[in-house]
Chains A and B, each alone.
Chain A
Amino acid sequence: MTFDVTPSITLVILAAVLVAVGIHLMLERSLTRIVIGLVIASNGVNVLFLVAGGRAGSPPLNEGGSVADMADPLPQAMVLTAIVITLGMSAFLLAMAYRSWQLNGHDEVQDDLEDRRIVRRAARDVIARRVRDDSGATLAEDARVTRDETATDLGAVP
């Protein structure tokens, strides 16, 4: 089996390009593009696995022949798993894209509303009344209105 991991510069560059393109797409807001980006980027990573596996070789089949120039099968197994997982994930992401198109008429990722609200609040520096829960009354004022639920049913003075 070939353990020669002298990198093929072609594959390295290919991996880099695919990752670059994929990431660029994943930074988009359109879910379709994100899916495409995901697939391309994972292709890039898969190429990286080829690099990790070492030089190209003969298929890893035990036909009794020599295994001298057989390609490293382990990365192949891992890539195969990764490919199938990516298939599942991208299928689901697509379903989400379709759903979001159904709901919003487009497949663009929206910003989080609550966060936006807080950003606005931070800009205005206002605090909700219920949050502060403080009328700013002084001790004396509070004391005047504060009375306990005391007994009224004990022996009243005649």
Chain B
Amino acid sequence: MLQLLILHALAALAAPALVGWLGRRAFLVLALVPGSAAGWAVAQTGAALSGEPPSQSFLWVGGLGMHLTFRLDALSWLMTLIVGGIGALVLVYSAAYFAKGASALGRFAAVFVAFAGAMLGLVTTDNTLALYMFWELTTIFSYLLIGHYHERQASRRAASQAIMVTTLGGLAMLAGLVLLGSAAGGTTSLSLLVERAAAGELGAGDPGLLLPAAIVLILLGAVSKSALLPFHFWLPAAMAAPTPVSAYLHAAAMVKAGVYLVARLAPGFGQEGTWRAMVLALGLGTLLLGGYRALRQHDLKLLLAFGTVSQLGMMIAMVGYGSRAVALAGLAMIAAHALFKASLFLVVGIIDWSVGTRDMRELSGLGRSMPVVAAAATLATASMMGLPPLAGYVAKEAALEALAHDGDWLVLAILAVGSTLTVAYGLRFLAGAFATKEGVVASSPRYQSRLIALPPVVLALAGLAVGVVPAAVETALAPHAALYPGDAGHLVLWGGFGVPLAVTLAVLLGGYAMFRARGPIERAQAAVVPVPSADRVYRRSLVVLENLAADVTAVTQRGSLPAYLSIILAVTVVTAGGAAVLEGTLPASVRTADWWGQVAIAVFIAITALLAARSRRRLKAVLLLGASGYGMALLFAAHGAPDLALTQVMVETITLVILVLVLRRLPTYFSNRPLGGDRYLRMGLGIASGLAVGVMGMVAVAGRTATPVSEYLPDATYTYGYGRNIVNVLLVDTRAWDTMGEISVILVAATGVASLLFLRDRTGIVDPARNRRRSEREGVVWDDGGPDLAARMRQSPAGGAPQWLRAPARGQQWLRGGTTLAPRRRSVIFEIGTRLVFHTMIMLSLYLLFAGHNQPGGGFAGGLVAGTALMVRYLAGGRYELGEALPLQAGHLLGGGLVVATGAALIPLAFGGQALQTAVFELVLPVWGDVKIATALLFDVGVYVLVLGLVLDVLRSLGAEIDRHGEIEGVSDEEVAAS
């Protein structure tokens, strides 16, 4: 069976190409695919109807109990015949039906065949989850087929409606199936489920609610798929699909899926109260409603659609009824309905194709002009109305017989009424389609074709064939019916005189009478105020959904950063803080301070921070921030953390400079916005968070049970880290992995800053030439429009000025970049100072780098010091000076640093060590003599270079580049940004 499915899949994939190649004739080829399924079923008849049906099983997702198991028992055999046979016929029909140039035929063919495959899987699989899989696949394919003409709103709407409604039911069904799977004795094998349910082993010991719940959920699936109340409305709307689709999906195959599922499970669950109530109420209700609505349709397709709804209701009621005899009738009805309804839809298609309309008010005299089609239609309709000797008659008769035998008069009566309606709209259909009406111009068929007429004729004749040999049909259907409890029923043409015959006669007469009175009935129907139709309810609920969604989103999605932060903080304070306050235990003892100075420092830090927060001037805020930061450094130093203090000082300095560099361009004052309660909310949240942190901190330290891992460090770091400075060893060796990550953060941040500032420079890497002086005439840095003496000196009074009058040449100045500064910004003292201090600082930074392993310092401190040196050069000499100080690209430093550091991580791997593992080398150098070098140094060098790169990059972007932005004349920042 899997082979057949694969065949379908491949055919579907090939279909577009095939159609492209053969045109419409491709449909004839593709017809072989579903045809083969039917043929295979025929070949398997003997086995299928025997005790142990042919089956196949492939493991797929064992963990979820989802297997590809197939089983061709009597029911599946019947459905396979229908799905395959009618599928083939409809494809043949399509070959003639569609125009040569019809749009997207390839897609249509592909989806159609794919659907046939999914349907085949659905009716043959024995695994509940696989069943659901095929179930949903049919939904999707029908979605695409209904929406085939997606330029039409009607098609789009019908498609969305169909997929939503059937998926809703499908998901309910999934829940039900999972529920059954998890129940006591539950499984994902359909046949086992039914067996155990029949034996009452299913859900034994589970809460009584479990089984009914599962039944309701599963039936929801069946009911929605087969368009029963209250989901019936999607089916008529789905008539927007091309007629072949209506004939196959919405008459013969897909809508039968629900009926199939009910027939499949009824032997096990048919006796449950919930089951019977739901099946009968919805089934019979739909039977009546569908018939009633069909009576007033003028569009032949719609008439048939409502007829289908009605019949589906009847079938579900019959196969779900739970008694053997009725079930047999139901199965026969499935077959009969598939034959006559498909045939009728195809006939309507032919009329539409040939005459150009489906509206019975515009049709007349077709009975004469298309005798063959008319005959087929009459045969099919007769079968639908239940006239002997046709399939429909046999099935209905058997049902009446069985119900009479059980004495279930209520159901019998409803069935009779339903059948009466069927007769009425059946006649209405025939008359409407083929009768000659006075006052209507005889419609002339423009086209005829044997090919297109063939399928409906075949189907109609099949209906006749089934009718004349009821015994044979009975033997085919009996095996499944036998699974139901109750006495066996029979399919016969002549059941003798009795209630059924009487009922049938009454039904036929009543139906005819209603047909004669169709005029008044239509008017009456038009007159009665229609109850809010399910369709309108659906449309309304969509509107409600959309509005609800918008409202909820409007509440949760404010789009304001402060709001989001406030929510996060509120959650944190309330939950974590709350837990600390309510459940935490505070430490038994606290000390005021580690030493008296701590208090002073803390107060200083706190106050400066507070002032920074309160100040309305950007610069002031920043300077106060710096002060508080240096306070932190002091705190660290006093706490016994020299490295921390050193780094803090450096970082604080750089942060300060960066802030100042950026802020010089931003407005002096923070914009003063009117802040009401909003402000107090923020204060409140801040204070609350602070308190929370305080309390949590106390609770945390109070809870300390074990000694920290640090106890290992003093010995370990020296023995294995070859360094006295534990913190440095931690950074470059023990926890070097952290440091590696940290420097990559630095790299990314630096390049990111550049990328935001150098948007006009595509490479995003500072072009050194950019900050190198190109000519004496180059732009003047930091000019505030004051008198430029240097410029005046450069201007030659007459002809070339003598060399010595020019700005000093190389070697005759302290800082070359200096000459590019606006003279009023130059400070010779500063320049000289810089000149002197620069190299000292570089030396210091190198010392820190190498000494780091044993004394405070290390790569970070070193790099930061070097960076600071650069910063001084920049501040003293302007941006051209920066280019002079370090004619390297920041990118090279950043990247190179990371390469070196990660390289140091990789090398040990090559020698069978761990990443970043340190080794020590002792070598004798001429001057130093015997020195010990830990390879960790290499890593530290990488850090040093990268940090230097960071500072350079930041200076060049936030410093130099912002200078340039400021100097660009006539070019607004807007354009700088845009470029």
Residue ranges of A at the interface with B (Cβ–Cβ < 8 Å): 1, 3, 5-30, 32-33, 35-37, 39-40, 43-48, 50-52, 55-63, 67, 70-74, 76-81, 83-92, 94-99, 101-103, 106-109, 111-116, 118-119, 121-123, 125, 127, 131-137, 139-140, 142-157
Partner of B152, one of A6, A25, A103, A146: A146
A62 touches B727 (CB 8 A): no
Return A73 CB to nearest CB of chain B, in Å.
4
Q: How far is the CA of A20 from the CA of B977 in the complex (A)?
A: 36
Docked pose: A73 CA to B730 CA in angstroms = 8
Residue of A nearest to B298 (CB): A140
Q: What is the CA–CA distance of A125 and B154 in the complex, to the nearest angstrom?
A: 24
Residues on the A chain within 8 Å of B663, using CB: 32
- Docked Cα-Cα span, A47 to B642, in Å, equals 15
Residues of B within 8 A of A80 (CB): 643-644, 647, 727, 731, 860
B855 in contact (CB, < 8 A): yes
Q: Is the CB of A27 within 8 A of B730?
A: no
Given contact pairs A98-B958, A127-B543, A148-B352, A1 touches B690 in the complex (Cβ within 8 A): no
Pick the residue among B644, B686, B750, B855 that contacts A79 (CB under 8 A): B644
Least CB distance, A25 to chain B, in whole angstroms? 5
Which of A22, A80, A91, A111 is most buried by chain B, counting CB atoms within 10 A of its CB?
Answer: A80
B726 A62 Cβ-Cβ under 8 A: yes
Query: Separation in Å of the B542 CB from the closest CB of chain A?
Result: 7
Interface string of B410-443 (1 = CB under 8 A from A): 0000000000000000000000000000000000
Q: Separation in Å of the A83 CB from the closest CB of chain B?
A: 5
Q: Which residues of A contact B613 (CB under 8 A)?
A: 21, 24-25, 36-37, 40
Give the nearest-CB partner of A147 in chain B. B352
Partner of B592 from the list A9, A22, A109 (CB cut-off 8 Å) is A9
Let me know if A28 and B697 touch, CB within 8 A: no
- As a 0/1 sequence over residues 653 to 683 of chain B, the CB contacts with chain A under 8 angstroms (1 = contact) are 0110011001101110011010000000011
**Residue ID in chain B nearest A94 by CB atoms:** B662
Cβ distance A37 to chain B, nearest Cβ, rounded Å: 8
- Closest chain-A Cβ to B768's Cβ sits at a distance in Å of 20
B interface secondary structure, majority: helix
**B694 x A144 contact (CB < 8 A):** no
- Give per-residue flags for B695-724: 1 if the beta carbon is below 8 A from chain A beta carbons, else 0: 001101100100111110110011000011
| A3–B154 alpha-carbon span in the complex (Å) | 77
A36 adjacent to B625 (CB under 8 Å): yes
Of listed B237, B648, B670, B691, residue having the most chain A CB within 10 A: B670
Pair A1/B710 contact, Cβ less than 8 Å: yes
Complex Cα gap A57–B547 (Å): 63
Q: State whether A102 touches B243 (Cβ < 8 A).
A: no
Name the B residues within 8 Å of A62 (CB-CB): 714, 717-718, 723-726
Determine how close the nearest CB of chain A comes to the CB of B638; give it in whole angstroms. Answer: 7
Given A15-B693, A21-B686, A36-B612, does the pair A84, B553 have CB atoms closer than 8 Å?
Answer: no
- By Cβ-Cβ distance, the 4 closest A-B pairs, closest first, are A20-B690, A115-B559, A112-B559, A24-B686
CA–CA, A131 and B542, complex, Å: 11
Q: Say whether B690 contacts A19, CB under 8 Å.
A: yes
B56, CB-defined interface residue at 8 Å? no
Q: How far is the CB of B821 from chain A (nearest CB, A)?
A: 22
CB closest residue in chain A, given B539: A134
Q: For the complex, give the distance between the alpha carbons of A48 and B855 in Å.
A: 26
Q: Are A10 and B97 in contact (CB under 8 A)?
A: no
Given contacts A24-B685, A91-B954, A97-B666, are A74 and B690 in contact (CB under 8 A)? no
Contact across chains for B643 and A76 when beta carbons are under 8 A apart: yes
Shortest CB-to-CB span from A113 to chain B, Å, is 8
Query: Using Cβ atoms and an 8 Å threshold, which residues of chain A touch B99?
Result: 149-153
Which of B301, B640, B655 is within 8 Å of A56, CB to CB? B640
| Bound form: Cα–Cα A70–B724 in Å | 13
Q: CB distance B640 to A60 under 8 Å?
A: yes
Are A61 and B685 neighbours in the complex by a CB distance under 8 Å? no
Q: In the complex, are the beta carbons of B640 and A71 less than 8 A apart?
A: yes
- Binary interface profile of B, 717-749, with partner A (CB < 8 Å = 1, else 0)? 110000111110011000100110010011011
Chain A residues within 8 Å of B835, by CB:
none
What is the CA–CA distance of A102 and B239 in the complex, to the nearest angstrom? 59
Q: How far is the CA of A71 from the CA of B236 in the complex (A)?
A: 81
Q: Which of A12, A20, A71 has the most CB of B within 10 A?
A: A20
User: B640: which of A17, A58, A109 is its contact (CB, 8 Å)?
Assistant: A58
| CB of A29 to closest CB in B, whole Å | 7
B804 at the interface (CB under 8 A from A): no
A140: contacting residue among B297, B356, B689, CB under 8 A: B297
**Smallest CB–CB gap between B347 and chain A, Å?**
14
Identify B352's interface contact among A6, A24, A86, A150, CB under 8 A.
A150
| 11 CB < 8 A contacts A-B | A6-B589, A7-B591, A8-B591, A8-B598, A27-B566, A46-B632, A56-B594, A134-B539, A148-B98, A149-B98, A152-B447
Given contacts A87-B651, A131-B546, A137-B154, contact A115 B686 (CB under 8 A): no
Cβ of B602 under 8 Å from chain A: yes
Q: Is the CB of B704 within 8 A of A5?
A: yes
With A40-B625, A47-B635, A157-B447 known as contacts, the answer to whether A90 contacts B655 (CB < 8 A) is yes
In the assembly, what is the distance between CA of A87 and CA of B659, in Å?
A: 11
Taking a contact as CB atoms under 8 Å apart, the answer to whether B449 and A12 are in contact is no
Q: Is the CB of B353 within 8 A of A151?
A: yes
Residues of chain A within 8 A of B738, CB atoms compared? 77-78, 81
Query: B560 contacts the other chain (Cβ, under 8 Å)?
Result: yes
- Give the residue name and chain of the A residue nearest to B535 (CB): A139
Q: Is the CB of A139 within 8 A of B237?
A: yes
Q: How distant is A41 from chain B, measured CB to nearest CB, in Å? A: 9
Contact, CB under 8 Å: A11 / B598? yes
CA distance A136 to B153 in the complex (A): 10
Is A146 touching B240 in the complex (CB atoms < 8 A)? yes
Known contacts A21-B606, A80-B731; 4 additional CB pairs below 8 A are: A19-B686, A50-B639, A74-B730, A134-B157
User: What per-residue 1/0 map shows which CB atoms of B583-621 lie under 8 Å from chain A?
Assistant: 000010111111100110010011001101100001001
Cα–Cα, bound, A35→B243 (Å): 67
A17 touches B714 (CB 8 A): no
Identify which of B41-49, B80-88, B751-759 touches chain A.
Answer: B751-759
Q: How far does the alpha carbon of A103 sit from the alpha carbon of B549 in the complex, in Å?
A: 34
Q: How far is the CA of A150 from the CA of B452 in the complex (A)?
A: 12
The answer to whether B100 has its CB under 8 Å from any CB of chain A is: yes
* B954 / chain A contacts, CB cutoff of 8 Å: 91
Beta-carbon contact of A16 and B726 below 8 Å: no
